[in-house]
């Protein structure tokens, strides 16, 4: 959430920056509501001050006629009640309106509404050249039997994955490999709940904007959301806390399945594991001081890249434009891996600096010695999402006979020394 005090200082500049993310944003209603609320509170203070003054006058006139003062006191009580009754509703509406505003982008972010204008800032490796007609992961799966989308649909409907046999084992190997890397790099492993309270979703920036994209349980006993990413759970770790500066940064990693309603468009490019309602992901999340923020960002990006470098996959880093960034982010770099079967790059990680945006919504602060507490910076990144990573492994490591070479870094995570997957 943005600081209303800062917004008041230069509303035009704020509006211009916010419109680079969403051109429809107009701050006039919010500013008018804020001004009205402040005038009500000022009026309330004046009424209460007058009431205190009248009460003192009555106290000083013992045994004397205080009829006129009593009448004014009664009138003041009525006015105070009238003004006070308006404040909570306006505060709630203003809070909700502020909660719908995205984070401000950093100055260096390219301004554009289109992802076509994302800037490539790094390329690692090269696209594999095939000496035979290569297959996409769905065609490879016809013989390898790593996934079963037909039975998954029978269980849950379309858009849900089912891993089987070596597919399940390879997925598990990937998850353990990634967690080992991130623990080595100083991230503490967490196993968070998969269902979270609305307040936690709000703190992460998922609510109210993305309500329709979330799975939830809402009945007489529970009002919980199923996490779309473990970022939403990890932000809740320190909600409503004041941390000590000496304890920062706090760096976490977590594996969870993730759930999203929107499963992508139909068609050959979006089939299989490319976009599903459920997918596995290892997350990176950090709480830092503003001064630590940039360094922690690079640490998280480097840890995510190390995964791909160990797997010897070709990828590129893309600095996202203002219009392609997430709601809560001030800066995002997407790591995109090359998928031959789709003839394009696909995101496997998105590393974002959210500055104090989520911390303000979640009330997470830190204290410098005896100074007044201030909001931490939060940072998050995929480390990585495995569904598209699995596609990249299968398609880039396929052999002419349809078998798959298993990257060396994964051998130790399989029960046997499996170096090739055959159908």
Instruction: Report the catalytic residues.
Output: 260, 275, 347, 350, 388
Query: Helix %, strand %, coil % for the chain, to 5?
Result: 45, 20, 35
Cα distance between residue 349 and residue 73, in whole Å: 64
Q: Of 388, 401, 408, nearest to 135 (Cα)?
A: 401
* CA 340 to each of CA 128, 384, 392: distance values in angstroms, whole numbers, following the listed order: 8, 19, 8
SS3 200: helix
Cα distance between residue 396 and residue 153, in whole Å: 27
Q: Of 214, 354, 361, 342, nearest to 284 (Cα)?
A: 354
Hey, what are 277's tokens?
């309602």
Q: What backbone phi and psi angles, to 5 degrees, belong to 384?
A: -135, 180
Q: Scanning the structure block, which residue is given the tokens 């969403």?
A: 22
Helix ranges (H only) for 61-123 are: 67-99
Pairing mode of beta strands 188-190, 250-259: parallel
Q: Of 135, 161, 134, nearest to 149 (Cα)?
A: 161
Q: Scanning the structure block, which residue is given the tokens 């994302």?
A: 118
Q: Where are the beta strands (DSSP E) in 340-401?
A: 344-353, 365-367, 374-375, 377-385
Q: What backbone phi and psi angles, to 5 degrees, belong to 410?
A: -95, -10
10 Å CB burial of residue 126 (0-12, 13-18, 19+) is: exposed
Cα distance between residue 18 and residue 22, in whole Å: 6
Query: What is the sign, positive or negative, of the torsion defined by CA atoms of 19, 23, 25, 27?
Result: positive
Hey, what are 271's tokens?
């089939």
Cα distance between residue 332 and residue 320, in whole Å: 6
Q: Scanning the structure block, which residue is given the tokens 């790099």?
A: 185
């Amino acid at each position: 959430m943005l600081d209303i005090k800062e917004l008041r200082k230069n509303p035009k500049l704020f509006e211009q920056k916010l419109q680079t993310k969403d051109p429809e944003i107009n701050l006039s209603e919010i500013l008018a509501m804020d001004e009205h609320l402040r005038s009500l509170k000022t009026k309330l203070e004046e009424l209460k001050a007058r009431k205190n003054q009248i009460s003192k006058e009555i106290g000083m006139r013992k045994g004397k006629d205080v009829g006129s003062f009593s009448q004014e006191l009664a009138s003041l009580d009525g006015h105070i009640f009238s003004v006070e009754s308006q404040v909570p509703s306006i505060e709630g509406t203003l809070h909700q309106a502020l909660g719908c505003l995205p984070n401000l982008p950093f100055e260096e972010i390219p301004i554009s509404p289109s992802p076509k204008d994302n800037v490539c800032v790094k390329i690692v490796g090269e696209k594999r050249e095939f000496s035979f007609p290569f297959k996409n992961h769905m065609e490879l799966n016809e013989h390898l039997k790593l996934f079963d989308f037909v039975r998954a649909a029978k269980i849950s409907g379309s858009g849900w994955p089912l891993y089987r046999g070596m597919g399940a084992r390879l997925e598990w190997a990937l998850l353990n490999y990634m967690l080992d890397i991130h623990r080595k790099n100083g991230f503490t492993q967490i196993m968070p709940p998969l269902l979270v309270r609305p307040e936690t979703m709000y703190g992460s920036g998922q609510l109210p904007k993305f309500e329709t994209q979330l799975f939830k349980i809402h009945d007489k006993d529970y009002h919980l959301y199923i996490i779309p990413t473990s970022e939403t759970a990890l932000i809740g770790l320190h909600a409503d806390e004041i941390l000590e500066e000496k304890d920062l940064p706090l760096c976490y990693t977590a594996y969870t399945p993730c759930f999203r309603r929107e499963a992508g468009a139909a068609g050959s490019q979006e089939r299989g594991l490319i976009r599903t309602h459920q997918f596995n992901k290892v997350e990176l999340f950090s709480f830092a001081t503003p001064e630590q923020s940039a360094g922690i960002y690079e640490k998280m990006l480097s840890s995510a890249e190390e995964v791909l470098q160990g797997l010897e996959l070709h990828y590129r880093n893309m600095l996202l434009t203002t219009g392609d960034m997430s709601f809560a982010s001030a800066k995002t770099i997407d790591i995109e891996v090359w998928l031959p079967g789709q003839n394009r790059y696909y995101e496997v990680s998105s590393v974002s600096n959210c500055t104090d945006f989520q911390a303000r919504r979640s009330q997470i602060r830190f204290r410098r010695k005896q100074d007044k507490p201030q909001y931490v910076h939060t940072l998050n990144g995929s480390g990585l999402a495995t569904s598209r990573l699995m596609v990249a492994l299968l398609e880039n490591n396929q052999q002419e006979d349809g078998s798959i070479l298993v990257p060396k870094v994964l051998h130790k995570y399989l029960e046997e020394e499996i170096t090739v997957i055959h159908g």
